């Protein structure tokens, strides 16, 4: 994983607003989140996180595609605007899946502890995030 720094805070905010998980967050909330993110790159074939391991960050894919595997079998692929590691960031349990870059990925990385700290201070953001999660579950898209 390589770090980058091309996007301004405003560009990060605009991108985060397009990600389903943050779609209902306010611009102010997104600004606080954006300030804590880092741009990162993953090369094709690079593992983002492994099944059974602790996930240290949430990743929002800016560009690229990743394979999500369970027990060595690909169960689906994700791409632009998808959030990786969110479920494990909320319960701090080991990852249930392995995620590997299928093509180069450019993403925003948000440390799990920073995310939890922001949620602990902002109940409206908690409602926005959990609303998005509830929609995913209801639609059968929980990943």
What domains can you pick out in the chain, each with its CATH number? 2-137 (2.60.120.10)
Q: Looking at the whole model, is its pTM more than 0.85?
A: yes
Q: In this structure, what is the dihedral angle of CA atoms 123, 94, 84, 139, given to the nearest 10 degrees?
A: -70
Return left, alpha or beta for 123; rule: phi > 0 is left, psi -120 to 50 is alpha, else beta: alpha
Q: How confident is the model at residue 1 (pLDDT cuts 50, 70, 90)?
A: low
Burial class (CB in 10 A: 0-12, 13-18, 19+), 98: buried
Structure tokens at 50: 């492994």
C-alpha 44: how far from chain center: 18
Q: How far apart are the C-alpha atoms of 104 and 133, rounded to whole Å?
A: 27
Q: What percent of the chain has pLDDT over 90?
A: 74
Q: How confident is the model at residue 17 (pLDDT cuts 50, 70, 90)?
A: very high
pLDDT per residue as tens digits for the range 131-142: 888 887 887 754
pLDDT per residue as tens digits for the range 84-127: 998 888 888 899 999 999 999 999 999 999 999 999 999 999 99
B/e letters for 2-24, b = 16+ CB within 10 Å, e = fewer, are eeeeebeeeebbebbeebebbeb
| Helix (H), strand (E) counts: the chain | 5, 9
Angle at alpha carbon of residue 44, lines to 43 and 49, rounded to 5°: 75
CA atoms lying within 13 Å on the CB side of residue 127: 5
Cβ neighbours around 114 below 10 Å, total: 17
Q: How confident is the model at residue 5 (pLDDT cuts 50, 70, 90)?
A: low
């Amino acid at each position: 994983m390589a770090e980058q720094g091309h996007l301004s805070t405003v560009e990060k905010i605009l991108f985060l607003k397009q990600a389903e998980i943050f779609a209902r967050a306010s611009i102010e909330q997104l600004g606080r989140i954006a300030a804590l993110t880092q741009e990162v790159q993953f090369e094709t074939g690079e593992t983002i996180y492994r099944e059974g391991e602790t996930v240290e960050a949430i990743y929002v894919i800016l560009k690229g595609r990743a394979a999500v595997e369970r027990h060595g079998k690909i169960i689906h692929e994700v791409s632009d605007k998808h959030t990786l590691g969110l479920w494990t960031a909320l319960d701090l349990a080991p990852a249930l899946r392995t995620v590997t870059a299928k093509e180069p990925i450019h993403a925003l990385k948000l440390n799990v502890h920073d995310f939890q700290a922001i949620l602990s201070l902002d109940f409206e953001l908690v409602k926005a995030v959990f609303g998005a999660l509830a929609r995913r579950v209801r639609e059968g898209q929980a990943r």
